[in-house]
């Protein structure tokens, strides 16, 4: 997604009044999951993947190659508090991979490398999906920007882009936008950085 090269054709610029969001950051951070992920090599080809979480939840595990291709995906059939499995990586080509765990709005990633010398495991990295809400014509967004990436908010309708705003690189992003003056219809809010895009759909 190109942040700086978006062309708006025949669009009316809509000025949105920014208001204080009625979102308490403490409430947001306390509501998210904080699963623990451990990757433990047992030999040159195998590793144990162990996950634990305080609350029972669906867990999604995926392995991505360095080019972004998904080489493995699994979702638990039922909500669980723990997951434990021995993985055999002998069929993986030598190279770097990312193990991604998703539990509700929490993502834990761990890079690892497969080589003739065995499996080398990196450090865990935890991120949280942003929190969106829309009520009383106010769009609220809250996000913990751990990597302090440059963030942008885009708002689209069926005709294209109607609003964009640079949010900056602050660690804690909490914003509110008054959408009273927007016409009725379906909209798509996108919180975007260099590494990720998060989408929220709303109707007014």
pLDDT digits (tens, 9 = 90+) for 115-137: 989 999 999 998 889 999 999 99
- For residue 47, the enclosing domain spans 33-126
Residue 164's CATH number: 2.60.40.3080
Token duo for residue 116: 């003739």
Residues 83 and 138 in one domain: no
**Any bridge partners for residue 198, and if so which?**
191
State the Cα–Cα distance between residues 10 and 187, nearest whole angstrom.
18
State the Cα–Cα distance between residues 87 and 98, nearest whole angstrom.
14
Distances (CA, A) of 199 to 71, 108, 189: 25, 19, 6
**Last-in-domain residue among 81, 109, 126:** 126
> Is 156 among the domain residues?
yes
Residues 147 and 101 in one domain: no
Q: Which of 13-17, 81-85, 108-112, 179-183 has the lowest mean pLDDT?
A: 13-17
**Last-in-domain residue among 126, 159, 187:** 126
Domains in the chain: how many in total? Answer: 2
State the Cα–Cα distance between residues 192 and 106, nearest whole angstrom.
17
- pLDDT at 31 (0 to 100): 55
pLDDT in tens, 11-28: 333 333 333 333 434 444
Residues 122 and 133 in one domain: no
Instruction: Please check the confidence at residue 53 and state whether its pLDDT lies above 60.
Output: yes
State the Cα–Cα distance between residues 122 and 145, nearest whole angstrom.
21
**Last-in-domain residue among 108, 126, 144:** 126
Instruction: Please check the confidence at residue 138 and state whether its pLDDT lies above 60.
Output: yes
State the Cα–Cα distance between residues 64 and 109, nearest whole angstrom.
10
Q: Which residue has the tokens 């007014």?
A: 204
> Is 85 among the domain residues?
yes
CB 109 within 8 A of CB 124: yes
Residues 114 and 151 in one domain: no
pTM: 0.68
23 vs 175, higher pLDDT:
175
């Amino acid at each position: 997604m190109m942040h700086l090269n978006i062309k708006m054709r025949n669009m009316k610029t809509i000025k949105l009044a920014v208001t204080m969001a009625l979102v308490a950051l403490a409430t947001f951070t306390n509501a998210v999951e904080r699963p623990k992920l451990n990757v433990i090599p047992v030999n040159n080809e195998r590793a144990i993947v162990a996950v634990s979480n305080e609350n029972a939840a669906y867990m999604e595990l995926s392995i991505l190659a360095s080019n972004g291709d998904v080489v493995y995906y699994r979702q638990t059939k039922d909500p669980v508090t723990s997951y434990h499995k021995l993985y055999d990586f002998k069929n993986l080509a030598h190279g770097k991979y990312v193990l991604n765990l998703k539990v509700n709005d929490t993502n834990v990633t761990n890079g690892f490398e497969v080589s003739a010398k065995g499996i080398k495991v990196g450090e865990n990295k935890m991120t949280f999906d942003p929190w969106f809400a829309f009520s009383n014509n106010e769009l609220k967004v809250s996000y913990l920007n751990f990597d302090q990436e440059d963030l942008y908010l885009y708002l689209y309708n069926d005709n294209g882009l109607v609003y964009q705003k640079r949010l900056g690189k602050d660690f804690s992003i909490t914003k509110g936008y008054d959408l009273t003056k927007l016409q009725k219809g379906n909209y798509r809010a996108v919180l975007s950085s260099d590494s990720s895009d998060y989408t929220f759909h709303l109707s007014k």
